[in-house]
Structure 1
């Protein structure tokens, strides 16, 4: 069956709460926990943004079975790719081989804290160079690298797992999918788009895992869930080209100010209807994804959601 994941949203909860949610998710029966890596929340109303890598280390020690993954880390601005490789190798050891390094080209929202946000073409070039650095380091090579964007005079990872940490790459179009097919062990895409799966297969990804992510807002009161989803996730439908370039929560607030509650509810199932949430998940299954991480919108709803997932949602998903 498709592996069911749980999303630790660093934008909507603090670090101690997120560690607790990870433990509860493992106990509930989720097979994967994915972690967002942000410097800012999308909206001020979300109100959080702890450091994902410190959180991952704590979660690795608090859990024993659930797989862990960044979804995603940008290896080109806040972090030098050689440092990302070191962090990933350490996580591979701390988690006893449960960690996958999820990478992507990033967003201005998080990366502008260290300087100007590059043009999309430059970002693509930087991402490819980062992959050319990270991949051999995780494989145990001593690396010397000189590129247009990054320099590595000499690097070697002294602590790394015997089995190299797998790399998953976020991709949505032909150029990024080609990178995923050449350098990555898995694909990440947040839309249930079978065309992207076909592109990945053609680019060398046939037989490799495909990770998706679906947002829902479960709760006993549909009206209240719609309010929560609108308050917390109205940025969701702006699209990658907008989300990648806006600089801060106030920009996302302005860009989404005309998004109505019903607009959000059209794309995020809200309320107690089990089959509506299953149908949203099933779109990824039907598109060919092998792993799908669920985002439960709203921090205050997490404990109730995890109990419901254990008793109703996960058993129903296993029937798929």
Structure 2
């Protein structure tokens, strides 16, 4: 199938409290966005001014306040803080309440969210295997009435999800990835692939998209069998200095994987981010006062094959962003691509 070109809003759960975030999600629907996603973090990237509302009740609240937008996680880790069967039950419930509007986006996790709870933080290969096993369990729980599953890390015995997604109204599973192994897995077993913008173009052209194609091919799936979601980091404002300074709160995103991989404390993350110059803090974002430049640079990701662009603005005035982007950028994109 060919997925329609869609434009979404990333609700910054690390930056705003749950009540504000619901209102932003409602406004996103009013302004013509097609989807609203948030991350499921136990802790934020920054201690001062940070937030970390739980994703599951928040999705239910947003679903009840909206009529049209697709809602989901980008991403949730179903392998440490949760048992996969609990996630299967929770998202099955959301899918029944809001049919054809819910996405379960999953990933391998970060130390920031898991180590604080006293959990052992395994190496990347084990995190990958745990994610794969969790997804297979969730899919089986949704497909079959009675499930006994004995995995390496997780198991269920005589389990039934009584209110589960149907074939007519499924809950798609998207895999978030920044490397080839998880991207290849998305191509093999998932309904969607999630990654983030602002990295070297070669990562997408030479690593991620080929890995996705490889996974699809190995599973005998069509090249357009799954949704491709790019979380695009943008800072748009008529004043350039304002657009640049807005990125400061999200400076931790500019830290290298080596600089942040094993950090479990937001205070330490904030300390390291504070040492970065503003130019580096802004390096992951499209920072521009020109709407046409935003369209041009977003188009680069569309031309790479991404069909679902979810926009993340780093500023504290999200209502201003939603109104400006909804009025000035989305119509230009839709006019250009005829969506």
State how far apart, in whole Å, the 2-side matches of 1:127 and 1:161 are: 21
Cα deviation, residue 14, structure 1: 0.8
Correspondence for 2:163 among 159, 164, 178: 159
Over 3 Å counting, the alpha-carbon distance change for 1:240 and 1:160 in structure 2 is: farther
Number of the residue aligned with 1:137 = 141
State how far apart, in whole Å, the 2-side matches of 1:279 and 1:253 are: 32
Q: Does 1:273 align with 2:284?
A: no
Cα deviation, residue 16, structure 1: 0.9
- More moved, 15-24 vs 242-251: 242-251
Q: Does 1:218 align with 2:236?
A: yes
**1:234-313 equivalences in 2 (<5 Å):** 234-240=251-257, 242-299=259-316, 301-313=317-329
Number of the residue aligned with 1:180 = 186
Deviation by residue 1:75-110 (Cα, 9 ceiling, x = unmatched)? 100111011111111111122221111010011111
Cα deviation, residue 224, structure 1: 2.3
Give the TM-score taking structure 2 as reference length. Answer: 0.88
Number of the residue aligned with 1:194 = 205
Number of the residue aligned with 2:105 = 102
Q: May I ask how many residue pairs the two structures share in their alignment?
A: 318
Q: Secondary structure at the match of 1:309?
A: helix
Q: Does 1:68 align with 2:71?
A: yes
State how far apart, in whole Å, the 2-side matches of 1:89 and 1:153 are: 19
Contact 1:168 1:186 in 2 (8 A): yes
Q: Secondary structure at the match of 2:329?
A: helix
- More moved, 67-76 vs 256-265: 256-265
Contact 2:116 2:265 in 1 (8 A): no
The CA RMSD over aligned residues, in Å, is 1.8
Number of the residue aligned with 2:128 = 124
Cα deviation, residue 241, structure 1: 5.2
State how far apart, in whole Å, the 2-side matches of 1:7 and 1:261 are: 22
Over 3 Å counting, the alpha-carbon distance change for 1:155 and 1:280 in structure 2 is: farther
Contact 1:223 1:271 in 2 (8 A): no
Correspondence for 2:11 among 5, 8, 12: 8
Where does structure 2 lack aligned partners over 5 or more consecutive residues?
A: none
Cα deviation, residue 46, structure 1: 4.1
